[in-house]
Amino acid sequence: MKTAVILATLLVGAQSFGIAPQTTRFNTQLKGLIPEDEMTPDQLEILRIQRKWSEVRQLSREEAEKTLDEEWLAAYNRFFEKYDDDMTRMQEIADKLGPMLEPPKVAKKSKGQKRRDAIARELARSGGAAN
């Protein structure tokens, strides 16, 4: 009987620090679109621009130069200049943080090196006089 009580206590203690399962999830439609027939002209214009930009962003640089007009080409070039600038900046930050996150490993001392160090400490304590 004591064993059952102890095991039950351990089980309750372990469960009290566990992660509670999430049984309910509320699915909110924050990114839901309004049906097009209910949109205002401004919203329709924004939707048209979003769809156009989704197509433009996927183009390669050569295709963009051939097919896009001046306004879209300027937007395309601004976007990818900023993107490339941000990527080089993040690469520089990663290069600086790399050694801090993974410091170089110091090689272990060999048995002989440990003995030489011990002898050097003894000599330093005794003032350099060899016994």
Task: Work out the average pLDDT over 71-86.
Answer: 94
More reliable by pLDDT, 28 or 92: 92
Tell me the whole-structure pTM to 2 decimals: 0.52
pLDDT at 24: 64
Cα distances from 34 to residues 38, 43, 51, 53, in angstroms, run: 7, 9, 15, 19
* DSSP-assigned letters across all residues of 56-116: HHTS-HHHHHHH--HHHHHHHHHHHHHHHHHHHHHHHHHHHHHHHHSPPPPPPPPHHHHHH
User: Taking 70 as the threshold, does the pLDDT of residue 14 lie above it?
Assistant: no
pLDDT score of 129 more than 70:
no
pLDDT of 2: 80
pLDDT at 56 over 80: yes
